[in-house]
Amino acid sequence: MTKRIVAPMTFAATLLAFTASGAMAAETIKIGEINHYKRMAAFANPYKQGIELALEEINASGGVLGKKLEFIFRDDQGKPGEAVKIAEELMTREGTAMLTGTIFSHVGLAISSYAGEKKYVYLASEPLADALVWGKGNPYTFRLRASTFMQASMLAEQAAKSGAKTFATIAPNYAYGKDAVAAFKKALMKLNPDVKFVAEQWPALFKIDAGAEVQAIERAKPDAIYNVTFGGDLAKFVREGNTRGLFDGRKTYGLLSGEPEYLDPLKDEAPEGWIVTGYPWYDFKDGANKTFVDAYQARWSERPGIGSLVGYMTVQSIQAALEKAGSTDTEALRTAFEGLAVSTPVGDIEYRQIDHQATMGAFVGTTALKDGKGIMVDWSYKNGADYLPSDEEVKKLRPGS
């Protein structure tokens, strides 16, 4: 008799719990966030904190479409196959409305391809490879950060003014590095057809033999160097180059090299006089940039990085898309992202309809040492819209555009 009474009661309790859980889930809009939180902790953790700051602000103001916005964070270990597996779990089991994230370009390209196949909206917040929006672009993938083409073009603009005639390049041997070198070459030779590239070094990602790379570049005797290494590879390259005098008397241009995530670990070994893209968070005096930095420091008691800004702007972009779409429907979201305008700490940006690239720009300046650490000086913010190809050029780069 006891069993006959308890069983129905247990079933009823389970059903009630399930119903309550479903109701709770319906109160939030879930976004699937995939990234390399362990492998790229120095960049990914500030990025996550930028996301969390934006979520707290938005949810405190009533959320989106009458519901709280929630991010489901997953670590892909920097592996494309793992990222795709997680993407499927997030969309089918967790009930997320869309996907975002990734830093490594090869991982972003894998998710993008999968999203295009399955018709899931994917906001590639961090990966910079040009193929994401051009050669391998698809209707469901959008990109926030200024791409390799955009940032390389900003540096090429500076390099063209230097008078240097011969250049050496060093970049990690994968999609981001290859695109970054190709973009710099194209932009610089358009501005100065007489320049020559006398050496190219392609170390494997995070497996650089800095001594050998520095020796190879020195043997070529270039007037200037274009560096695309980052993270631990950048640190090793800079230290070995400083030791051997590689940068003495040479202009060096560094993609991402002025970002706090990569510059801070070098401390007093940080290079001086490099022309770089980065993030001078310490130098904002007023305006939306200053407001963001102050809010971030108040919340986390540490300085923001460029990842912090990108994470914050990722949430702003998704909020704007949801409000424009009026629902979490995939096709409504996809359509909303096309031509989407977003107000951000760096100003108003737009996701271009023709190629789904946002017009977020980048800060360009010169590295210097202050109080024993590297900073950017003489910097300016370059509007991303000024460094993108025309619609006619995009049609050649992006199939079906």
Select from 128, 214, 161, 187 the least CA-distant residue to 366. 161
Per residue in 167-177, pLDDT (tens digit) is 999 999 988 99
pLDDT beyond 50 at 4:
no
What is the rounded (10 degree) CA torsion for 363, 367, 306, 74? Answer: 140
The pLDDT of residue 15:
45
Exposed (0-12), middle (13-18) or buried (19+): which is 115, by Cβ within 10 Å?
buried
Average pLDDT over residues 329-339: 98
Q: Average pLDDT, stretch 188-193?
A: 96
Indicate the average pLDDT of the chain: 93
Give CA torsion, residues 71, 72, 73, 76, to 10 deg: -130
Average pLDDT over residues 301-321: 98
Write down the H helix ranges in 119-147: none
Fill in the DSSP letter of residue 204.
Answer: P
Rounded Cα distance between 273 and 250, Å, is 9
Q: How does strand 99-101 pair with strand 122-124?
A: parallel
Output the furthest CA–CA distance in the chain (Å, rounded).
Answer: 94
The pLDDT of 131-150, averaged and rounded, is: 97
CB 345 within 8 A of CB 313: yes
Question: For residue 7, how far is the Cα from the chain centroid?
Answer: 53
Residues 6+ apart with CB under 8 A from 303: 260, 281, 282, 293, 297
What is d(CA 70, CA 51) in angstroms, rounded to the nearest whole number?
Answer: 10
- Residue 91: name the closest of 335, 319, 330 by CA: 330
CATH architecture of 149-280+363-387: 3-Layer(aba) Sandwich (3.40)
Specify the pLDDT at position 26: 60
C-alpha neighbours within 13 Å on the C-beta side of residue 361: 17
- N residues, the chain: 401
Q: Residue with structure tokens 């970002």?
A: 259
pLDDT mean over 208-214: 97
Q: How far apart are CA 144 and CA 359, in angstroms?
A: 8
pLDDT score of 281 more than 60? yes
- 180: tokens are 């970054």
**Cα(115)–Cα(84) distance, rounded to whole angstroms?**
9
Query: Is residue 5's pLDDT more than 60?
Result: no
Average pLDDT over residues 333-361: 98
Helix (DSSP H) and strand (DSSP E) numbers for the chain: 13, 14
Q: Are 365 and 280 in contact (CB under 8 A)?
A: yes
Please state, in angstroms and as integers, the Cα–Cα distance from residue 186 to each residue in 137, 181, 319, 373, following that order.
20, 9, 36, 33
Q: Which of 279, 235, 233, 240 is nearest to 256 (CA)?
A: 279
Q: Which residues contact 40 (CB under 8 A, 6 or more apart)?
A: 78, 103, 104, 231
- The CATH architecture annotation of domain 11-147+285-360 reads 3-Layer(aba) Sandwich (3.40)
- Select the more confidently predicted residue: 20 or 64: 64
Single-letter code of the amino acid located at 5: I
Q: Which amino acid is at 100?
A: T
Q: What is the pLDDT of residues 90-117, one digit of tens each?
A: 999 999 999 999 999 999 999 999 999 9
Q: Which of 308, 309, 315 has the alpha carbon at shortest distance from 98?
A: 315
pLDDT in tens, 23-82: 344 689 999 999 999 998 989 999 999 999 999 999 999 999 999 999 999 999 999 999
- CA-CA distance, 374 to 354, in Å (whole number)? 38
Identify the pLDDT of residue 184. 97
Domain boundaries, the chain: 11-147+285-360, 149-280+363-387
Buried b (16+ CB within 10 A) or exposed e, 204-213: ebeebebeeb
Q: Which of 349, 322, 323, 350 is nearest to 338 (CA)?
A: 350
Which pLDDT score is estimated for 399? 82
The amino acid that residue 273 corresponds to is G
Q: What percent of the chain has pLDDT over 70?
A: 93
